[in-house]
Structure formats: C-alpha cells, structure tokens
C-alpha cells in the first residue's frame, strides 16, 4: 500500500448511526424503518476508528440495559440494537 493511501484510510471517520424513528408508530411498527436508506439514519456520534465506534456502541448498550428497570423494549433499546457503525465515506450515506 502506498503511503498516501494509508494516510487517506487513517483520515476516514466512523459514524455511530441510529435508525430513523416515527413517533406515531409503536415499537412493533418501527421495525419497518430498519430498511430505511442509511442517509436517513441519525448520526449519534463521530469517532476516529471502527474499533472505537463498536466499543462505544457496546458500552452504550451495556449501560442502558443495566440502568433499565422496565422489561419492555423502549425506543433507546431498540435504537441501540439496530445501531450500526459506518465509515464516513461509505457510499450508502450519500444521496442519489
């Protein structure tokens, strides 16, 4: 790999994305949004590496599940289960 290619890879950021949410749907209906285009997903955080993104996602899930007292799946738990890490330059984040 040429040095300039390695430098370009190092500059790529990573997004922790949550699926879009429609407040008028119940949690069963929200599952329809799982197939939404990634450009419509909400950016929760921007991180420097995929490893850091995955680590943040795991930490958020663990912390929220630990703090959650109710047995029902709420919006934040749903979002965390569907959340994804994606490179900032991923073409799926761009419009048509």
pLDDT value for 78: 72
pLDDT band at 5 (very low <50, low <70, confident <90, very high): very low
Element (H, E) at 46: strand 42-47
Confidence of residue 33 (pLDDT cuts 50, 70, 90): low
State the pLDDT at residue 88: 95
Report whether 87 contacts 12 (CB < 8 A).
yes
Mean pLDDT confidence for 84-88: 95
> Nearest 5°: CA angle at 67, between 21 and 30?
15
pTM across the whole model: 0.68
Top-confidence residue, 90 or 76? 90
Chain centroid, CA 67 distance in Å: 20
Has residue 13 got a pLDDT over 90?
yes
Query: Which pairing describes strands 14-18 and 84-87: parallel, antiparallel, or unpaired?
Result: antiparallel
What whole-number distance in Å separates Cα of residue 55 and Cα of residue 10? 18
């Amino acid at each position: 790999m040429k040095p300039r290619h390695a430098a370009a890879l190092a500059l790529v950021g990573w997004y922790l994305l949550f699926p879009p949410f429609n407040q008028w749907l119940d949690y069963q209906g929200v599952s329809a949004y799982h197939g939404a285009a990634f450009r419509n997903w909400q950016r929760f955080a921007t991180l420097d590496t995929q490893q850091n993104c995955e680590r943040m996602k795991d930490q958020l899930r663990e912390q929220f599940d630990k703090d959650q007292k109710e047995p029902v799946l709420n919006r934040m738990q749903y979002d965390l289960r569907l959340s994804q890490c994606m490179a900032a330059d991923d073409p799926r984040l761009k419009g048509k």
